[in-house]
């Protein structure tokens, strides 16, 4: 029987000398082995950020770790989050009519490439119900006459809470949440925008790109916030286009990028590789 388990510890605090040494010493005293560690200092705000991957005996829990880390957290004004890797995050996917991102996520999950439980799909249309059915995932069709409709969001929230959902993935969900909903799930909503933000935010970005005659189109995965398409950017990708490409062809090329960009962002979130600081997503490889 495996007596070891693993955790990821995310740390942020004002930068100063000795932080890495103090953290390593505290974890050693707690009986933890550091498997991997990466850090970054934002020199503009003088903030130190670190991701530490540890292993330890199963007798060591969050309370034990906090006991050893609290003294240095108090001394250095640290924010510390402990995430156990054997705790499976529960995911809900929101879609409209486009199926390419949904298919990609479901296939990756089926093949064991996403460490999570995809518990349900929510859509404002019933077009993709058969896709969810093929993967044996509950599909909730909730029409959305207007973005941010409070009655609709109450239905959605009830479903999410009943299923203890940890992450919402907007896989080409063509509706906008209210500020109330977005704030409730702050840091837990990943959206794929079919454009290389901040260029061509809002609707029909490929049409905007075509009109401008751009030579590159792309996709951006970001955390959704109350400001439309302004949330912290997690991942981006681009592909070259030319004057020969129609809007339809640009959309086709863009879909390939959307799939890979969204999958990377979701995987990194599930692996606790992201810390948001100053509206920037710090992503540790």
Q: Which two tokens stand for residue 81?
A: 């989050």
Strands (DSSP E) along 43-149, which ranges?
47-57, 79-84, 90-95, 117-123, 139-141
Each residue's pLDDT tens digit, 105-138:
999 999 999 999 999 999 999 999 999 999 999 9
Q: Is a pLDDT exceeding 80 seen at residue 206?
A: no
Reply yes or no: is the peptide bond before residue 160 cis, omega within 30 of 0.
no
Each residue's pLDDT tens digit, 34-68:
999 999 999 999 999 999 999 999 999 999 999 99
CA distance 238 to 216: 6
Catalytic residue among 119, 166, 229, 245: 229
Question: Which 3 state secondary structure label does DSSP give 101?
Answer: helix
* Interaxial angle between packed helices 205-212 and 247-270, expressed in degrees from 0 to 180 and rounded to the nearest 10: 130
C-beta separation of 241 from 215 below 8 A: yes
Burial class (CB in 10 A: 0-12, 13-18, 19+), 155: middle
Domain 90-283 has CATH 3.40.50.170: yes
How far the first Cα of the chain sits from its last, in Å, is: 30
Each residue's pLDDT tens digit, 240-280:
888 888 888 888 888 889 999 999 999 999 999 999 999 99
Q: Catalytic: 179?
A: no
Q: Measure CA 117 to chain center.
A: 14
Domain coordinates in residue numbering, the chain: 4-84, 90-283
The CATH number for 4-84, chosen from 3.40.50.720, 1.20.1630.10, 3.30.70.260, 2.60.40.10, is 3.30.70.260
Q: What confidence score (pLDDT) does residue 208 get? A: 80
């Amino acid at each position: 029987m495996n007596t070891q388990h693993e955790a990821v510890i995310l740390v942020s605090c004002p930068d100063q000398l000795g932080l890495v040494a103090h953290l390593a010493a505290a974890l050693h005293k707690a009986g933890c082995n550091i498997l991997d560690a990466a850090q970054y200092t934002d020199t503009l705000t003088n903030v130190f950020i670190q991701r530490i991957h540890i292993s330890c005996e199963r007798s060591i829990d969050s309370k034990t770790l906090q006991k050893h880390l609290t003294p240095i957290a108090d001394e250095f004004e640290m924010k510390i989050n402990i995430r156990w890797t054997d705790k499976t995050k529960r995911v809900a996917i929101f879609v409209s009519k486009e199926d390419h991102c949904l298919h990609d996520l479901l296939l990756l999950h089926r093949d064991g490439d996403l460490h999570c439980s995809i518990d349900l799909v929510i859509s404002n249309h019933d077009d993709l119900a058969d896709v969810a059915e093929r993967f044996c995932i509950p599909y909730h069709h909730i029409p959305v006459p207007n973005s941010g409709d409070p009655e609709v969001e109450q239905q959605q929230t009830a479903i999410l809470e009943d299923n203890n959902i940890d992450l919402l993935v907007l896989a080409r969900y063509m509706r906008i949440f209210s500020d109330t909903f977005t704030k409730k799930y702050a840091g837990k909503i990943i959206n794929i925008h079919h454009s290389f933000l901040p260029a061509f935010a809002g609707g029909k970005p490929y049409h905007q790109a075509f009109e401008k005659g751009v030579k590159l189109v792309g996709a951006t995965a970001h955390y959704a916030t109350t400001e439309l398409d302004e949330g912290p950017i997690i991942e981006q990708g681009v592909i070259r286009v030319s004057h020969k490409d129609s809007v339809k062809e640009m959309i086709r090329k863009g879909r390939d990028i959307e799939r890979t960009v969204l999958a990377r962002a979701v995987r990194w979130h599930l692996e606790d590789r992201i810390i948001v600081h100053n509206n920037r997503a710090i992503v540790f490889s």
